[in-house]
Amino acid sequence: MLRVPKLCRPRPGVSFLSSAASPSAHNFSFSGCGFLIPYHLGVAQGLKDAGFIQSSSKFAGASGGAIAALSLAANSSMTDILYETKAMAELCHSQGTIWKLEERLRAIFHTKFGDLPVGTLAQRLTIATEKLWPARIQVMTDDFHSSDDLCDALIASCYVPWYLAQRGTSLFRGEYHVDGGLFTLVPEVPGYVKVCAFHGHMLRRDDYDISPSIDPEFPYSIVQLARFALFPPELEVLDELYELGKKSAGIWADKQKSK
């Protein structure tokens, strides 16, 4: 008797497309974002789910985007970083935001990334900062000497003058730096897909591949997003931004697969 094998029931999230149709690994550059970082985390999770982020993918970021890039390069859980973001937002709601973020960011860094071997990040993570002296220039750092060096790079990349702490600049490798997204919102890395937490079309940047502009039903204006970036909204909004990021990533992924 001819035995016919039973068909396997597809598991959720598993595709039986041929390998030729499988997404290829892409590299991504994340904009400055402040407390809009849940949008980036949602985008990251959506891209992972869609198969566009793989072990060979590389990441760049400025300001809050640098945190998202580090989280991806370190293979961290996006929901874990979302949880830390919400915990920090709660502290800001109860204790204030201005001048208090540097200490909190350093504490979170050492909790989540303090034991990370920085050698594993070589050439996979690029953090953008803005050096101010003797001439203003964007610095792209992709090699880190130690955990403290990585932390200093991250703080410098997030350093909005007189907002993160009571200083105008942050010291990184003996030089004065500020937020890497102040003058160049999305780090320019050749071949990287650009992800922006603000509406790309409102900024007249058609080269921002993934942004709220990709979703015609995105509920927040660029003015609202700017306010959320500096002063964290309610936790429900942060959760919503995460889901909106996943949706934006899904829209972009579908466009790539249809090409």
User: Which residues are known catalytic residues?
Assistant: 63, 179
CA angle 83, 87, 93 (to 5 degrees): 140
Output the CA torsion sign for 103, 159, 181, 131.
negative
Name residue 140's beta-bridge partners: 128
Closest C-alpha to 104, from 245, 232, 239, 197: 232
Contacts with 236 (C-beta within 8 Å, 6 or more apart), sequence order: none
Q: Percent helix, strand, coil in the chain (nearest 5)?
A: 40, 10, 45
Read off φ and ψ for residue 107, nearest 5 degrees. Answer: -65, -45
Closest C-alpha to 75, from 44, 33, 29, 31: 44
